Every structure is written in C-alpha cells, then in structure tokens.
Amino acid sequence: MSFVANPRLGLPGRPAPASAFGTRPFASAAPAAAAIPTVSSEPIDRVVVGFVTLDLVLMMLLQKWALPLSDGDAQVSMLLITHFGVLGLLILKGRAVLDPIRLAGYAAFVTIALLGQFWPDRPFGATSLLLAVAIYAALVIVMPINRATHRRILLNVQLVVVAISLLVFFDHAIQLAGRDMPNIEAIQPDKMIYHEFVYIQPLYYGSPYSKPNAIFLLEASTTSQLIAIGLVLELALFQRLRFLLLFGCALIATFAGTGLLLVVVSSPFLLPRLKPALIAAGVVAATVAIALAAASGWFEVVSKRLDEHEHKGSSAYARFIAPVEIVGATVAGEPEGALFGLGAGNIERRPGIVWMAYAKIIVEYGLIVFVVWLAFFSHAVLSPGVPLIAAWLALVQFHLLNGAFLVPLNVYLCCVLAAGYRLVPEAREAAGAPRRIRLAVSPACSH
C-alpha cells in the first residue's frame, strides 16, 4: 500500500482548505501553561496527520507479523518497530516532544518493576521485562497539536474502519462462493507469525463458515472492536448516516461479541449527543439490521454462545473469568507474592488464554507496580483536551476486551486515539505560532 499526496487524507501535498474539516468543536481544552510548545499556524498540521495515519495503516496491515528472538519462542511484534519508526520521524520533523510528567511516571514504573524482579530468589524472564520497558516507552512522547488536527486524525481512523468493514463483507462473500476465507497466515513464514492468537475461528463448533477477520487482523474479536470504535466515534462526533449504516451492518457481520460490548458500555456517552432525527433513523436501521440478522442465522449462532462464560476453554471464560480467578488467588496468597509478584513472564500458561493486562501485571509484578503503572498509563490516555469518548474507547478496549499488556497493537491504538497528543489551547491557536517545534523536555507538556 502506498500513499500519495492527498489533502483530504491530511497526507503531505498541497494545503487542505480549513472549511473541509467543519467547525464542530471538541471538548474544552485544558488551561494554558507557560511556554507551551507550539504547532504549525496552519489549521491542520498535515505532517502529523500524515505520519499518524501511516502508523495506523501499518498497525492494520502488520498485526500478524513478528520478528523471532533467539530466546526460545519469544517474538517482537512488527508494530513495535514501525511505531517507534514513525515517532522517530515525527521527532526529526519537530512535531513530537517528551512529556516530563509522563517521563517521571514511566521512570517510576520501570524502576519499581526492576527492583521487584531482583528480589532474592525471584526468577524472571528478561525478554518479558524488556518488552514491557520498550512498549510503554512510547507513551512518554507526545505531539502538541490543535483540535482541528486531532479531528482530522479521527476522520482518517474512520476511513480505515470503512476499509475493515468492506473486508468483512468480502470475507463472507468468498465463503458463500464456496472458497476458504483468505488468510495471510498461509503464506507467512512460520517464525514470523505473531503467535497466541486464533486467526481462523468457526462461527460455532462444527460450522463450515469462519468469522471474518478482515484478512489482516488478529482475530474476529479485534475486527469487531475496531468497527465498534468507528461506530461510537461516528455517533459521538460526526453522525454521518452512511457511515453509521456501514459500521452497524459490519459489526453484526463479525459475529463477535466484544465490539457490541464496547458499544453498550459507551452508550451513556452517546445518548446526550444524538439528535432526534438521528435517533429516528437509528430505529429504522436497527429494525432492518435485526431482520437481516434473523435471516442470516445470526441469532442462532449467538444463542449457542450465550452460556460460554460457564465453560472452561470458551473465549468468554478465557477473557473475563480466568483473569479474575488468578488475580484473586494471587492476592489471597502469600503477602510477598501479592506485593511483588511471581516475576516477569512467570504467569501460568493456559491453552487459549491471553491474560488481561491487570491480571498479568498483578501476578507477575505485584500490586505495588500495578498501582504505579495504572497511574502512569491512565494519565497518558486521559490527555487534556482530547475528547473523553476517544479516551474512553482506548481504555475499554485495552483493559476490558484484550489480553493487552505486551501486545503493542492495543497500546499503540491508545496512542492513535488519545494518548499520543497534547492539545494546544484555543488562545495559543488564535495567536499564531512558529511552524516548527524543538525536541525538548518542556514543563509545558505537563498539565
């Protein structure tokens, strides 16, 4: 996939007119700080938008790819390399800076984690520890931008979700034509396949059809979540009916429940934003969607999974029940294990289970590190000026829906949605600013 100059996408090219992006405001920005780093005086910083969009596209295309390490079956996701590559280019372009408060939080997390691992008679996996240190280092880097630039980034997120939705329907069409669903795993070198994920899943046990994973994505669950993110953003910020219809139908077509759960837990943020006309259109669209779902056998498939949480080995048990059980056992055990953990990489391996972030940190690093890490991570995602709905989506997909602690995709998706930015207050935008910023640790990057 190549990128060409296109002002509508915010990629390098001729300047895009400010009127193309609308004037609907985001949430109020944070109070101005002294000597805040400035961005381009243009309404849209096309350099930032272009590189962030490139980063997002690479996240979608390279999810299944990894580089093998010499340490047994250890791997490094290709996204770790591409994300830091994009950040490096943004730093060279003068569009990214170090946030001192985030840097302090990251340093505290890493220092306490290292001290806990070197506790006497506490074996740990060096590869697991180093991956954690590397993955979360990205959160100390921020891009000072204005609201119009962030809005353009979110619009490009929507275009990516459009592509994912169309690939979902393509997956179904191929299968209905009597062919196997496309799967790039079949052509990848085995050592470069990102393991621990189920790329091809039947709709239900014994089904001749598989859940769509949009060819490039890790699982049908990942596909469902990304489409749900697009649907919620569309409802909250843009409200374009054609996008809502596409995302709603594609979400149902994934036959995965995590995306629907993401929409449900986001609904309290959406209802106050919806116009009466949109609600009426939504009722009509929902009626049509329910009819199509019934005709396609969607309810039959879902009914076979309603009691999944009761069965060990099911995806619902692995995602929601098993992590709670292992955390409860750790906290109720010896005080030393509860406070300092069992050591990086030492959580019990169970077939079919990728541990949630909170479970992995508490079990391997202990409660003290968990509290410090949670404060650091939450501060990064809840960046001042970023729309709360974007931060909420990032936090829910990370904490509730994915085994995410050492999965770069879920961490860096938080960066694209919310954690990667420091929004410039309106007063500074109106005053104008130099076109470039310096790479520096500045107190203005803090709250």
Distances (CA, A) of 341 to 22, 402, 405: 50, 21, 15
Q: What is the CA radius of gyration of the chain?
A: 22
Which residue in 62, 63, 50, 67 sits closest to 3, CA to CA? 50
Q: How far apart, in whole angstroms, are the C-alpha atoms of residue 135 and residue 224?
A: 24
Residue 321 lies in a domain: no
Give the number of domains in the chain.
1
Which residue in 43, 2, 22 sits closest to 155, CA to CA? 22
Residue 167 is encoded by which pair of tokens? Answer: 């690939």
- φ, ψ at 25 (rounded to 5°): -80, 155
Residue 210 lies in a domain: yes
Q: Are strands 421-423 and 141-145 parallel, antiparallel or unpaired?
A: parallel
Segment (H or E) for 380: helix 367-381
Residue 319 lies in a domain: no
> Residue 213 is which amino acid?
N
**Residue 172: CB partners within 8 Å, gap ≥ 6?**
212, 253
Residue 248 lies in a domain: yes
Q: What is the pLDDT of residue 135?
A: 97
**Residue 295: CB partners within 8 Å, gap ≥ 6?**
none
Residue 87 lies in a domain: no
3-state secondary structure of 395: helix
Q: What is the pLDDT of residue 315?
A: 64
Residue 267 structural domain:
185-309
Instruction: State the 10-residue block means of pLDDT for the chain, 447 residues long.
Output: 43 42 40 39 86 98 90 84 97 96 97 87 86 97 96 98 97 93 88 82 80 92 96 94 93 90 92 73 66 59 50 65 88 86 87 84 95 97 94 96 89 97 68 43 40
139 and 419 Cβ atoms separated by less than 8 Å:
yes
Q: What is the pLDDT of residue 103?
A: 98
**Residue 143: CB partners within 8 Å, gap ≥ 6?**
48, 52, 90, 95, 96, 97, 420, 421, 422
Q: How far apart, in whole angstroms, are the C-alpha atoms of residue 308 and residue 390?
A: 30
Residue 65 lies in a domain: no
User: What percentage of the chain's residues is helix, strand, coil (to nearest 5)?
Assistant: 60, 5, 35
**Residue 325: CB partners within 8 Å, gap ≥ 6?**
none
Residue 175 lies in a domain: no
**Residue 431: CB partners within 8 Å, gap ≥ 6?**
none
316 and 309 Cβ atoms separated by less than 8 Å:
yes
Residue 241 lies in a domain: yes
Residue at token pair 């800076």: 97
Q: What is the pLDDT of residue 366?
A: 94
